[in-house]
Amino acid sequence: MRYRRLGRSGLQVSELSLGSWVTYGNQVDESAAIEMLSKAKDAGVNFFDNAEVYAGGKSEILMGNALKHLGWDRESYIISTKFYWGIADGPNRKNTLNRKYLHHAIDGSLERLQMDYVDLVFCHRPDPHTPIEETVWAMHDMVQRGKALYWGTSEWSAAEIVSAWQIADRHHLHKPVMEQPQYNLFHRHRVEREYARLYEDLGIGLTTWSPLASGVLTGKYASGIPAGSRSTLPGYEWLEKTVTNPDWIAATERLRPIAADLGCTLSQLAIAWCASNPRVSTVITGASRTEQVVENMKAVELIPQLNADLLQRIDEAIGRISVE
């Protein structure tokens, strides 16, 4: 495992990391979480991604319990959480980034995680109803109080990120350091085009999610939706249209000869491709079984092998398929 700086910050994150979206609290219990976290850390992973909204807060509780059981030195790993959607109904409790919500949200996450601070905190989506100035000041205060070390955004537009950065710069506040966008072979425009100026101009780092395009790039949907996959879970029915996209499935099948030549799985190829982008600080992987963690982590061996010729071959196999 190699480590990369998170954007222009001094923080070093493992080039592959482990996230808990969908799985923790839905497909993974505490004993499985302990085992998967251990396998990931054995492979060199030091960043574990979470969010307040995942499984309605249960994901944070599960990860907090697992980490307490493992007893690792707090300095040895990086934990994130994200805020926007909330986990309770009512005004100022969901779909907002106002100061009141953020003030309470971080305390709730820290209680569930059983931690004094998180390393990274993300504004999970932009909030069109709260002035960006209010959000920037609230995030600055969160960092200033030591409840988070770095703050950033997730799925914000380039213009919104620039606006937040400029406000922080003008008032000498803690600036957004990272963005967490979706990035995979079918979803590339935002990372490769829209954000192109942000890396040099603002020093933004990326913690990208969904490297396997909700599982399509594993190849497991070539013959239909298998039982127990995430698209069959209650509340995730919306994934069905994505994972059954015939163009995506056909493109994935065209990647098989490349994976075979490299002696790797489709999953490893797709993950390594994401990490081959030098603008990506870390690729967040997911798993519902320990075996998947072990398989995914082997992608680190492929990253140095993806030279210009192989990357062009992958592009030709995928064609012009993309989702903006």
Known catalytic residue at 54 = yes
Helix (H, G, I), strand (E, B) or coil at 182: strand
* Residue that has been written with the tokens 């959480």 in this structure: 81
Radius of gyration of the chain (CA): 19
Helix (H, G, I), strand (E, B) or coil at 3: strand
Please identify which of the residues 24, 54, 195, 221 carries the catalytic annotation: 54
Helices (H), the chain: 30-42, 58-70, 99-113, 132-144, 158-170, 189, 198-201, 239-243, 246-262, 266-275, 290-297, 308-318
User: Per-residue DSSP letters for 49-86?
Assistant: E--TTGGGGHHHHHHHHHHHHHT--GGG-EEEEEESS-
* Residue that has been written with the tokens 């798993």 in this structure: 287
Interacting residues of 156 by C-beta distance below 8 A, sequence separation 6+: 123, 125, 126, 164, 179
Helix (H, G, I), strand (E, B) or coil at 43: coil
Residues acting as catalytic residues: 54
